[in-house]
Amino acid sequence: MYKILFSIMASSSLLLLSTVLVAGTPDVSVTKADPAQKQLTKEPAQWGYEGEGKPQHWGELSPAFKRCSTGKNQSPINIKQAIKAELPLIKFKYNMLSANEIINTGYSIEVTMWSGGEIVVDDEKFKLSAFHFHTPSEHTIDGKSFPLEIHFTHYNRKKERVVVSILFEPSNKDDELLTALWPHLPLNVGERQKLGSNVLSSLEFEGKVGNYYRFNGSLTTPPCSEGVRWIVMKSLRKVTQETILKLQKAIKHPNNRPVQPLNARVLLK
């Protein structure tokens, strides 16, 4: 709903701007009036991927989003020149996975968890809370983008985050997870559906996994909080063009934040 309101607001200010331009007297005071109006109505800042709320402006939309522009460990990044390290295996206990809902948030499609899903990273347990989709991918590898990326968000007891990312490459066959979820894909913003108990069965497994990139980063959406431990799996899964088109139809715009500077960070592989 906010999103719809915002696009109406955005198009009316665009209209206003074009009227001013047509009149040939671009007046700075017109644009200056906007923030004041926002303060009066106490509208929450609206972020997005296009127009005034696009990623390049996130840091200015609200004091709470400052980190999006001032942060030095922001995500996503282009993964390149990773340093070879003896990275410990990550223990996955992804058994008895029970999904709760699939939700069209307008920013992404998100699947929330009912129960199940745990990983052990740095000798600490992190519980799977939800996962969501980005098309195209947010992370790139050596500058290469992928059609799809899934972020699996995990929390420990201190509410610290580990995000496990899986990248997808184009194929004429879909990964089983996508085949199971896509019939339930909510196409309208705000729509949600309860998910059945078997829908995540292809994700279920228990074991140790190496073969990943590891680095520190942030949430890739406002408030862009840092201190997120990122695990990007090296093995790629498969997605068809048809599946991507349906996801694009549901989200209605690309939902990848551009890659951010690496700064002083070290990438491990």
Closest CB to Zn ion among residues 151, 229: 151
Minimum separation from the CB atom of position 227 to Zn ion (A): 16
Closest CB to Zn ion among residues 13, 216: 216
- Kindly report the number of other CB atoms within 10 A of residue 115's CB atom: 11
* CA within 13 Å, CB half, 229: 16
Q: What's the CA gap between 152 and 18, in Å, rounded?
A: 43
Q: What's the CA gap between 200 and 95, in Å, rounded?
A: 10
Minimum separation from the CB atom of position 220 to Zn ion (A): 5
Task: Measure Cα distances from 177 to 150, 155, 180, 200, 266 in Å.
Answer: 11, 22, 5, 6, 32
User: Segment contacting Zn ion (CB under 5 A): 21-29, 72-80, 151-159, 209-217?
Assistant: 151-159
Comparing CA positions, the residue from 222, 189, 187 lying closest to residue 1 is: 189
Minimum separation from the CB atom of position 108 to Zn ion (A): 7
Closest CB to Zn ion among residues 9, 233: 233
Q: Residue 93: is it exposed, middle or buried by C-beta count within 10 angstroms (0-12/13-18/19+)? A: middle
User: Segment contacting Zn ion (CB under 5 A): 70-78, 123-131, 215-223, 241-249?
Assistant: 215-223
Which residue's CB comes closest to Zn ion?
151
User: Segment contacting Zn ion (CB under 5 A): 2-10, 17-25, 147-155, 206-214?
Assistant: 147-155
User: Segment contacting Zn ion (CB under 5 A): 43-51, 65-73, 145-153, 207-215?
Assistant: 145-153
- Kindly report the number of other CB atoms within 10 A of residue 153's CB atom: 19
- Kindly report the number of other CB atoms within 10 A of residue 67's CB atom: 19
Contact 179, 28 (CB under 8 A): no
Torsion angle of alpha carbons 168, 218, 253, 194, nearest 10°? 70
User: Segment contacting Zn ion (CB under 5 A): 10-18, 53-61, 87-95, 144-152?
Assistant: 144-152
Minimum separation from the CB atom of position 135 to Zn ion (A): 11
Closest CB to Zn ion among residues 138, 174: 138
For Zn ion, the binding residues in 219-238 under the rule CB under 5 A are: 220
Q: By rule CB under 5 A, what count of residues binds Zn ion? A: 2
Minimum separation from the CB atom of position 196 to Zn ion (A): 24
Task: Measure Cα distances from 94 to 170, 264, 267 in Å.
Answer: 26, 33, 26
Q: What's the CA gap between 233 and 239, in Å, rounded?
A: 16
Closest CB to Zn ion among residues 151, 161: 151
Residue 154 interacts with Zn ion (CB under 5 A): yes or no: no
Closest CB to Zn ion among residues 74, 220: 220
Which of 67, 151, 161, 214 is the binder for Zn ion (CB under 5 A)?
151
Binding site for Zn ion (CB under 5 A): 151, 220
